[in-house]
Structure 1
Amino acid sequence: MTASSLIAFLKTYAASKKGQTLDKLVEASAQVVPNESRRALLIKTYASLSSSAQASSLTRFTSAPFTSPSVSGFLLGGKYRVINTGSQGPRISSGKSAVLDAVTEDNSVSGSRKGISPLKAKLSRNLAALQRERNNIIALRGTGSAAKKSIIEVLELMENYDGRGGHALVMEAGKEDLVAKIKRDGASSRQELKKICATAGDVLLALERRRLVWTDLRAANFVLMQGNGGLKAIDLESAVPINEKPVDCTPEVTPPEVASLYVQGRLTQATVAPSYDVWSLGILLLFLASGGKNLFEGEASSRIMTSLASATQEKVNLQVDRLVGDTKSAAFIKKLLVVDPKSRLSAAAVKRNLLFF
């Protein structure tokens, strides 16, 4: 489906649904297009066809990442000092925000939060996304001690900190993510996989208790903490209620049933279930056990969705056996990477199966 034909379809859909506008539908569609060039093309095409202010806004904010302050030592809200992010610059989260290193500057930051160091400051113009992430994290950590140990802590959300529409979410920081760990150490051992899966399982249980689906469970979104702080989940901005539409889509961790809708040009009809995250967990463990490889290793993002959409259980199992050397690890991963979403394990079943891994 071309950008023009998608816009034409959305225009017809908007006309038939009370309360829906073309601007909102195009914006929602742009958020879930996984390929950056396709997303940019959709926005550019819509802007050329529409004279609305919202179309201009989409081109300005959705097609380009947030531009962070370039000055090292920037003081955020009088409380947090943004420090030098190095030659590579800030981490970009989902292409919509800049994530910078920071430390506490203000003695008024007290209690259990005072000792949290270092910090991360996620800067964005998208207040709704930052609010969603903060609310998701608070809700999930509120499910119990296991979730608190497994999910990053938020210090505060600072609205319009610069007086120009910039917002900041300040959180505790990890030492490195699992992608960096695999690049340094190579494939994870079976014992390491069990520990990581146990943490991820606690996150999945918390999500189920709050009736949420993460939709972005991947190696880059788990960080090793300083000292013996263990492993924690980050970047929960994309978590949405069960049976709602995904707000984002990462091809490598997308389950076959959603990839199929994408290939058919019907991604806007997709809704999410806990089985989505179980598939993503299987992909995470495959990535770790194989030393950094994905299910369809070597394929471009644009091809991954097509391969997923046509995947059979036999093909998936063969790929896992080919990529993972340890037989027991491969067997466990295959229990998660079940093509039929109705047959996938629940989060509780994942935790139970760890006893035999």
Structure 2
Amino acid sequence: MSTFRQEDVELHYDMGEELGSGQFAIVRKCREKKTNLEYAAKFIKKRRLSSSRRGVSREEIEREVDILREIQHPNIITLHDIFENKTDVVLILELVSGGELFDFLAEKESLTEEEATQFLKQILDGVHYLHSKRIAHFDLKPENIMLLDKNVPNPRIKLIDFGIAHKIEAGNEFKNIFGTPEFVAPEIVNYEPLGLEADMWSIGVITYILLSGASPFLGETKQETLTNISAVNYDFDEEYFSNTSELAKDFIRRLLVKDPKKRMTIAQSLEHPWIKVIKRRNVRNEDNGKKPERRRLKTTRLKEYTIKSHSSMPPNNTYINFERFSKVMEEVAAAEESLRELEKTKKSFREDVEALLSIYNEKESWYKEENESISQDLRQIRQELQKTETLKKQAQEETRSMLQAANGLKRRYRKLENRYEALAKQVASEMKFVQELVWSLEQEKLQGGEGDCSIR
């Protein structure tokens, strides 16, 4: 078990402005009193109960800390110190103040492929270092690719946020469903064994967006996005890639490969001609005898992408508002507000079930050739899921019935556990999530009712 300093962090650091917040963390600028150097303080809300979904478990915090303690590279954020109190673990991190790479590039009028590869080379160097230590980041996306300082001639890339990073141990099969849907690899979508290869897929998606301002797999819904990823459904639209070299497209093609074993590794990507030859002649062939000119990529669509991605991000209400929310729920949580939250949760759950159902359909076709009995069981599961969806729509407040239906599905999944273990684990995980969510909402409604009565 990792040990942290059991002291008040503000005895050693002066806290400043808020820099950002995540699901259960908030980052503040701070200054070390002893050295007068500036850092970033990341306050991670600890989970108080193992059954709760609020906060981060001790195991997850220790995993992130252990990984940060192990890494030291110019293109990766560094850990300076760690504190702990009753509610939070506080990571004192290197201050990365240059903003996101995509925001920086979007400010330019145009961009050459050479300029793009100079930044991409730094990303690859950081990932190469992580993979050399068998560490997979699992959340590579534009928001986690920052600049140390953008007001210098050659800004330095910094990879941040190791909250879901894992050490990949040989012989230990690791599966999980996490990350940002737009950037996750097919093996995550299909709940298959994960490795370092998942990061390479994300790099392919990032490169595609960097050169075009378009996202290769993003659909209108989460289900559509995951379906596109599983089918590797993308192309190089001439509208977006008319000025892009074939070498750049080849680099992306070798990364967006469904089979992780056939996907380009980090070492191979660094040796790819598009990356290796930094001083390339990036020119457009002309038939009229004029001097070739450098290809320049317009950043208009990249600007649009960054604006859209920032505006579509969920509100960061999970640290400061976490404390505020818990007090409000104890005092004035009205039944009407609870119902609105229930509707939002049900809508999100419905999307997840639909996404899972799409995956089940694909899995069913695979198993049908091997065992007809498994196919019959899968059809029965689909019917039960549809019945469950119908019951949910008809009875918004009958949460007890929904829990019983979920338990019924859970029992059926267990019967199939020995035949298709991976599918059963996935379904059981989703149904457990529903049980805990329904229980939590019932408790909040009960507490809300009590609080309302006490005020009046």
Partner of 1:128: 59
Cα distance in structure 1, aligned partners of 2:121 and 2:166:
22
Deviation at 1:256, TM superposition (A): 1.9
Residue 236 (structure 1) aligned with residue 162 (structure 2): yes
SS in structure 2 opposite 1:288? Answer: helix
* Whole-angstrom distance in 1 between the partners of 2:70 and 2:239: 39
- TM-score normalised to the size of structure 1? 0.63
Which structure 2 residues correspond to residues 25-40 of structure 1 after superposition, within 5 A?
Answer: none
Aligned residue in 2 for 1:181: 104
Which residue identity lines up with residue 30 of structure 2 in the other structure?
V
Residue of structure 2 in register with 1:159 after alignment: 84
Q: Which residue of 1 aligns with 2:389?
A: none
Q: Structure 1 residues 118, 139: closer, same or farther in 2, change over 3 A?
A: closer
Q: How does 1:63-212 map to 2 (within 5 A)?
A: 76-85=9-18, 91-93=20-22, 95-100=23-28, 102-107=29-34, 109=35, 115=37, 117-125=38-46, 126=56, 127-141=58-72, 148-160=73-85, 164-174=86-96, 175-185=98-108, 188-212=111-135
1:356 to 1:334, Cα distance in 2 relative to 1, 3 A: farther
Identify if the C-alpha distance between structure 1 residues 157 and 187 changes in structure 2 by more than 3 Å, giving closer, same or farther.
farther
Partner of 1:300: 221
Distance of 2:260 and 2:120 partners within structure 1: 19
d(CA) in 2 for partners of 1:194 and 1:240? 27
Q: CA deviation at 1:279?
A: 0.6
Larger radius of gyration: 2
Change (3 A) 1:298 1:138: same
Distance of 2:202 and 2:167 partners within structure 1: 17
**Corresponding letter in the other structure for 2:187:** E
Q: 1:253 to 1:296 in 2, by over 3 A?
A: same
Cα distance change, pair 321–120 in 1 and its aligned pair in 2 (3 A): farther
Quick one: distance in 1 between partners of 2:262 and 2:181? 21
Distance 1:188 1:238 in 2: 32
Shift of 1:197: 2.0
Contact 1:296 1:307 (C-alpha < 8 Å) held by counterparts = yes
Query: What is the rounded CA distance, in whole Å, between the counterparts of 1:304 and 1:251 in structure 2?
Result: 7
Hey, what's the Cα distance between the residues in 1 that align with 2:32 and 2:165?
A: 31
The 1:118–1:184 alpha-carbon spacing in structure 2 relative to 1, beyond 3 Å, is farther
User: Which residue of 1 is the match for residue 244 of structure 2?
Assistant: 326
Whole-Å separation in 2 of the counterparts to 1:303 and 1:236: 27
Q: CA deviation at 1:192?
A: 2.6
> CA offset at residue 296 of structure 1?
2.5
SS at match of 1:158: strand
* Percentage of matched positions with identical amino acids: 21
Per-residue CA shift, 1:40-99, capped at 9, x if unaligned? xxxxxxxxxxxxxxxxxxxxxxxxxxxxxxxxxxx84322222233xxxx5233x23222
8 Å contact 2:136–2:167 — kept in the other structure? Answer: yes
AA aligned opposite 1:304:
T
Whether the 8 Å CA contact 1:188–1:288 is kept in 2: the answer is: no
Secondary structure in 1 matching 2:11: coil
| Secondary structure of the corresponding residue to residue 80 of structure 2 | strand
Alpha-carbon offset, residue 350 of structure 1: 0.7
**C-alpha displacement at 1:321, in angstroms?**
5.6
In 2, are the aligned partners of 1:212 and 1:240 still within 8 Å (CA)? yes
Q: Distance in 2 between matches of 1:321 and 1:341?
A: 28
Q: Is the 8 A contact 2:79 2:92 kept in 1?
A: yes
Count of residues in Structure 1 that have an aligned counterpart in Structure 2: 249
Q: Partner letter of residue 244 of structure 2?
A: D
Give the TM-score normalised by the residue count of structure 2.
0.50
What is aligned with 2:317?
none
CA contact (8 A) 1:224 1:230 kept: yes
Q: CA deviation at 1:255?
A: 1.2
CA distance in structure 1 between the aligned counterparts of 2:144 and 2:200, rounded to whole angstroms: 15
Contact 2:219–2:225 under 8 Å retained in 1: no
Write out per-residue CA displacement over residues 169-216 of structure 1, whole angstroms, 9 at most, x where no aligned residue.
Answer: 111122201243244337753123212221222222222222121111
Higher deviation after alignment, 222-231 or 167-176: 222-231
Residue 275 of structure 1 is matched in structure 2 by: 197
Q: 1:217 aligns with which of 140, 143, 152?
A: 140
2:74 counterpart SS class: helix
Structure 2: distance between partners of 1:170 and 1:320: 44
C-alpha contact (below 8 Å) 1:256/1:309 kept by paired residues: yes
1:185 aligned counterpart, secondary structure: coil
The CA distance in 1 between the partners of 2:41 and 2:101, in whole Å, is 17
Which of 157, 171, 175 is the equivalent residue of 1:245? Answer: 175
Deviation string, structure 1 residues 3-60 (Cα, Å, up to 9, x no partner) = xxxxxxxxxxxxxxxxxxxxxxxxxxxxxxxxxxxxxxxxxxxxxxxxxxxxxxxxxx
Unaligned runs of 5+ in 1: 1-74, 142-147, 262-266
Further displaced range: 164-173 or 180-189: 180-189
Aligned to 1:258: 188
Residue of 197, 203, 207 corresponding to 1:285 = 207
1: CA distance, partners of 2:116 / 2:176: 28
Any gaps of 5 or more consecutive residues in structure 2? 1-7, 47-55, 279-456
